[in-house]
């Protein structure tokens, strides 16, 4: 009997792809940051072979599935492979991916972001990945107050991770920093 691994559910919109826990919410928020309506984001998972190579992709964690279920999440990425910093298994997926020349690895953290990361400091979501001055300074994308609007209540670490991942996808698509906070202030995303 042949053994095969189920592919992890992933959601996408306009070249932005997310896999793992909360993937649809992340893609829907990224779409909102790009100026689209949440209703434009399909609520059904992508098939692995769907569409062209993604502009940017994020794997938010393995969600209890084996690593091989996520093996192709980053394949062909053209701009940014976004990953949770410190998650060795997801970092290895990024390292093993066959991506377009010039595609970059972008880390996410709930702490102080280093170069090529987005993270949180003193209630501010900061970008040190997509701005030309990233080696010397960070760009503020949003505040914890904006995050509370998105969460619809007191924001949790889960909400901060989702917002940070969505911001990274949107910034990879060329969205201005102000669009991130604006999208968060519009409240929760719901299918």
Domains of the chain listed by start with CATH number: 10-185 (3.40.1190.10)
For residue 187, pLDDT over 90 is answered with: yes
For residue 105, pLDDT over 90 is answered with: yes
* Mean of pLDDT values over 169-179: 97
Position of tokens 């911001």?
167
- Token code pair at residue 77: 């990425």
The overall average pLDDT reported for the chain is 91
Q: Label residue 33 by pLDDT band (50, 70, 90).
A: very high
What confidence score (pLDDT) does residue 43 get? 87
Tell how far CA 183 is from the center of its chain. 15
Judged by average pLDDT, the poorest of 2-6, 10-14, 87-91, 163-167 is: 2-6
For residue 175, pLDDT over 80 is answered with: yes
The Cα 54–Cα 65 span in angstroms is: 22
Percent of the chain as helix, strand, coil, to the nearest 5: 30, 20, 50
Give the gyration radius of the chain's Cα atoms: 15
Residues 70 and 18 sit within 8 Å (Cβ to Cβ):
no
Q: Label residue 64 by pLDDT band (50, 70, 90).
A: confident
> Rounded to two decimals, what is the model's pTM?
0.93
Q: Label residue 103 by pLDDT band (50, 70, 90).
A: very high
What confidence score (pLDDT) does residue 82 get? 98
* Mean of pLDDT values over 30-40: 94
For residue 191, pLDDT over 80 is answered with: no
Q: Label residue 8 by pLDDT band (50, 70, 90).
A: confident
Judged by average pLDDT, the poorest of 39-43, 97-101, 167-171 is: 39-43
Q: Label residue 45 by pLDDT band (50, 70, 90).
A: confident
What confidence score (pLDDT) does residue 35 get? 95
For residue 16, pLDDT over 80 is answered with: yes
Q: Label residue 4 by pLDDT band (50, 70, 90).
A: very low
């Amino acid at each position: 009997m042949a053994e095969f691994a189920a592919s992890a559910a992933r959601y996408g919109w306009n070249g932005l792809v997310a896999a793992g826990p909360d993937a649809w919410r992340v893609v829907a928020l990224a779409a909102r940051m790009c100026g689209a309506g949440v209703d434009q984001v399909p609520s059904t998972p992508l098939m692995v072979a769907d569409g062209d190579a993604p502009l940017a992709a994020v794997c938010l964690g393995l969600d209890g599935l084996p690593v091989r279920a996520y093996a192709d999440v980053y394949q062909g990425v053209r701009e940014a492979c976004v990953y949770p910093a410190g998650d060795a298994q997801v970092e290895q997926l990024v390292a093993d991916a066959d991506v377009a020349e010039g595609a970059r690895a972008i880390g996410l953290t709930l702490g102080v972001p280093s170069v090529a990361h987005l993270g949180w400091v003193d209630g501010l979501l900061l970008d040190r990945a997509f701005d030309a001055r990233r080696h010397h300074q960070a760009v503020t994308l949003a505040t914890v107050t904006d995050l509370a609007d998105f969460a619809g209540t007191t924001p949790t670490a889960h909400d901060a991770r989702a917002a940070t991942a969505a911001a990274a996808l949107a910034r990879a698509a060329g969205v201005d920093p102000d669009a991130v906070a604006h999208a968060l202030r519009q409240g929760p995303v719901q299918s």
